[in-house]
Amino acid sequence: MSTILIVDDEPTARETLIAMLEGNDFQLELARDGFEALQILDKMSVDLILLDVMMPGMDGFEVCQRIRSRPRLAEVPILILTALDDRASLLRGIESGADDFLTKPIDRYELAARVRTITRLNRYRKLMEQRENLREMAERVVVAQEEERQRISRELHDDLGQALTIHLLGIRDLQNDLTIPTEAMFDKLQTLYGQAYEVFIKIRTLAHNLRPPVLDTLGLRIAMQTYCTEFTRRTNLPVTFEAEQDMPKLPDIYNVTLYRVLQEALTNIIKHAHASHVWADLSMEDQTILLTVQDNGHGFEEGKTESNGIGLTGLRERMILAGGKFNISSSPTRGTIVTAEFPMPEGRPVTEVT
């Protein structure tokens, strides 16, 4: 059965539509204004929206735009109901994203015919259901990947890290226990200690990069800030990091993916760009979360690099799996800019501030 959402502020107009559509095996949902319509759409999928234009508070054009700005609702069919029979408002309706119009007073046969054509196909809902299934599957893949990384990280840190600590202490003890060590022997032990210590640091870094603990405890903004500061300390390359102060709590999959983008983008800059400055920016606009990482290095010509690298390909795949968009653009004069974008997740709690 198809579901139709009727949005009209006038009770009589709603009742007329109900009367015209009744008996056609439709489930009818009613909204008295744009706000109520958006609330209903947040909770359920509908097959068609019948939308009045002249409404107080938010007119039909604005409701239409808001619906279209939400990725999940970008393709739901919208029929605008208008008493305005002039070209200018029809044009405005199309610009706002409506699919078709019916002029008031509405002819019941015309309405029935249009509605039947749209709902019979019922393509929209099937498409959305498939997309939702795919998205859920992809999310499970990324979550499983992250859990595996977390497990390996713990193992590296706890098992190997601790075994090496004991090893290091052993060498120290040996150095202390030797009552009259020869200089050569002392140097050998010192070298052995140095080498083991290097391995220890590498394992620690690996463990931290596999699953940055700060991401779990302090949230994305601080994790990124910390990473940038640490990056500058290691490389002497200044990074200006800016982020929205009141960032809402994002799904875990967004956090880890955006963090990985930052890591790889900065690593690429240090490896390839010869830049003198980097700007990283985490912002929230309207319904999207956007990370940009830009450098002022010597860039590269797209399609002309002969790289066997897997960094960028991996990022692109991760972003798609997590439901986002990834882009890199570069030119020899402008440096390189990496962008990663996620739609604000609908229907998920986004109130907690980190």
Ligand X SMILES: Nc1ncnc2c1ncn2[C@@H]1O[C@H](COP(=O)(O)OP(=O)(O)OP(=O)(O)O)[C@@H](O)[C@H]1O
Contact residues for ligand X (CB under 6 A)? 268-269, 271-273, 295, 297, 299-300, 305, 307, 309-313, 336
Nearest CB to Mg ion, comparing residues 57 and 309: 309
Q: Which does 130 bind (CB under 5 to 8 A by kind): ligand X, Mg ion, none?
A: none
Nearest CB to ligand X, comparing residues 227 and 300: 300
* Whole-Å CA distances, 289 to 256, 292, 307, 341: 14, 10, 30, 6
Q: Which amino acid is at 192?
A: L
Residue 90 Cβ, how far from ligand X at the closest point, in Å? 47
Q: Which does 295 bind (CB under 5 to 8 A by kind): Mg ion, ligand X, none?
A: ligand X
| CA neighbor of 71 nearest in space, from 337, 324, 350, 243 | 324
Q: Which does 247 bind (CB under 5 to 8 A by kind): ligand X, Mg ion, none?
A: none
Residue 297 Cβ, how far from ligand X at the closest point, in Å? 5
Residue 295 Cβ, how far from ligand X at the closest point, in Å? 5
Q: Which does 2 bind (CB under 5 to 8 A by kind): ligand X, Mg ion, none?
A: none
Nearest CB to ligand X, comparing residues 233 and 304: 304
Nearest CB to ligand X, comparing residues 158 and 302: 302
Cα separation, 1 vs 18, in Å, equals 16
Q: Which residues pair with 336 in a beta bridge?
A: 295, 330
Residue 258 Cβ, how far from Mg ion at the closest point, in Å? 17
Nearest CB to Mg ion, comparing residues 70 and 316: 316
Residue 324 Cβ, how far from ligand X at the closest point, in Å? 18
Nearest CB to ligand X, comparing residues 116 and 271: 271
Output the 3-class SS for the chain: CEEEEEECCCHHHHHHHHHHHCCCCEEEEEECCHHHHHHHHHHCCCCEEEEECCCCCCCHHHHHHHHHHCHHHCCCCEEEEECCCCHHHHHHHHHHCCCEEEECCCCHHHHHHHHHHHHHHCHHHHHHHHHHHHHHHHHHHHHHHHHHHHHHHHHHHHHHHHHHHHHHHHHHHHHHHCCCCCHHHHHHHHHHHHHHHHHHHHHHHHHHHHCCHHHHHHCHHHHHHHHHHHHHHHHCCCEEEEECCCCECCCHHHHHHHHHHHHHHHHHHHHHHCCCCEEEEEEEECCEEEEEEEECCCCCCCCCCCCCCCHHHHHHHHHHHCCCEEEEEEECCCEEEEEEEEECCCCCCCCCEC
Nearest CB to ligand X, comparing residues 284 and 328: 328
Q: Which does 80 bind (CB under 5 to 8 A by kind): Mg ion, ligand X, none?
A: none
List residues binding Mg ion (CB under 5 A).
268, 309, 311
Nearest CB to ligand X, comparing residues 15 and 302: 302
Which residue's Cβ has the minimum distance to ligand X?
A: 309
Q: Which does 297 bind (CB under 5 to 8 A by kind): ligand X, Mg ion, none?
A: ligand X
| CA neighbor of 258 nearest in space, from 286, 279, 277, 280 | 280
Nearest CB to ligand X, comparing residues 246 and 301: 301
Q: Which does 272 bind (CB under 5 to 8 A by kind): Mg ion, ligand X, none?
A: ligand X
Residue 264 Cβ, how far from ligand X at the closest point, in Å? 6
Q: Which does 221 bind (CB under 5 to 8 A by kind): Mg ion, ligand X, none?
A: none
Cα separation, 285 vs 342, in Å, equals 11
The token pair at 347 is 């229907």
Residue 239 Cβ, how far from ligand X at the closest point, in Å? 13
Q: Which does 305 bind (CB under 5 to 8 A by kind): Mg ion, ligand X, none?
A: ligand X
Residue 263 Cβ, how far from ligand X at the closest point, in Å? 10
